[in-house]
Amino acid sequence: MIYKGLKGVVCTETKLSMIDGERGQLIYAGYPAKNLSKEHSFEEVAYLLWYGKLPSANELEDIKKKFKEARTLPDYLKNIIKNLPKRLEMLDVIRTVTSSIELISTDKPSVDDAVRITTLIPSAIAYRLYCLDKQPFPDIRKDLDHVAYYLYMVTGREPRGEHVRALETYMILTMEHGLNASTFSARVTASSESDLASAITSAIGTMKGPLHGGAPTGVLELLNEASQSNDIHQMIQEKVERGEKLMGFGHRVYKTLDPRAIALKDILQQNKQDEDWFDLAIKVEDIAVNVLEDLKPGRGLYTNVEYYAAAVMKELKLDPSLFTSTFTASRVIGWTAHVMEQLEDNTIFRPKAEYVGPVFAE
């Protein structure tokens, strides 16, 4: 029997995350992700995924120190970024930079290497924006925790506390999500005993595909269209009837409300700056869910994390070109954790393909 896309096939074991699509649960190493996003920092949850436990106070200070010490963008990476064609998308730049990072470990991938890749992404984005004449290159700062530093580097502005909290919630909730396409790519590459940079480069290449990493931009387009519509219900109904996909609705795994969307909605409710924008997002959500239930009954098509991710990005006034890059900057934690887990008990991935072409006589 053929399982296209390996859908439903169990090919490995993991201690990193568990998804219950029927109940709408996402668990990181034993802890509900929504609770982690409310009670812990980015660095704490990264530590949990890398080491399998939450850090003590001393361990947290140590991992934060590693993050801050690894931020300086080496000259050789600056030269690479400077010489890349201007037409390349930001994710292309991140992918190329990642493939060129000089790793610390010469044996198996290490947390130090994972930290290095994670912390160089904000600096690489900022330097690319500088090369495109979009903003000055900010000073590398070691007084900010990682999410505040990311926001500072990609905007060039002093980060506001409520903005950091909203972005940190998003980045924790998207840090890990089972054996999705990009994570699978990373584990396949790692299973050949290639290095960490190669595995993460594979993952970023997969993330670039619009079926995986580009949804928040599509949500913004939907909401912008709704803001110009005289009849949002009719607009959405016509889209569904034409067979168009409503970006931000439905998920291959969750058959009820995406727990990540619920947590992001809560943080936006607490810190909303643009009342009209947030109210529009709520209105479109209510209408779309009702239309989908009427026209596609029993499908369980609710808002997913990308829907409220778009609302968060809008609140932060991030350029849409940075949406997938921001997703990548959080998911790199999960990717690196999966690579290290893969190599703890490694078997190279080697599925079969059934030949359906012609066979000519010898």
Catalytically active residues are 251, 306
Helices (H), 141-228: 146-155, 161-173, 181-191, 196-207, 215-228
The token duo for 23 is: 């109940």
The token duo for 291 is: 């239309």
Do 281 and 229 touch, CB atoms closer than 8 A?
no
Q: Is 280 exposed, middle or buried (0-12, 13-18, 19+ CB in 10 A)?
A: middle
Strand partners, 347: none
Looking at beta carbons, which pairs linking 181-184 to residues 24 or more positions away fall under 8 Å? Answer: 181/206, 181/209, 181/211, 181/212, 182/206, 182/207, 182/212, 182/213, 182/331, 182/335, 183/331, 183/334, 183/335, 183/338
Region for residue 124 given its phi and psi (left: phi exceeds 0; alpha: psi -120 to 50; beta: otherwise):
alpha
State the DSSP H helix or E strand holding residue 58, giving kind and residue range, or none if neither: helix 57-69
Which among 41, 50, 52, 74 has a CA at the least distance from the CA of 149? 41
Do 115 and 70 touch, CB atoms closer than 8 A?
yes
CA dihedral in degrees (108, 111, 116, 117; nearest 10)? 70
Do 188 and 179 touch, CB atoms closer than 8 A?
no
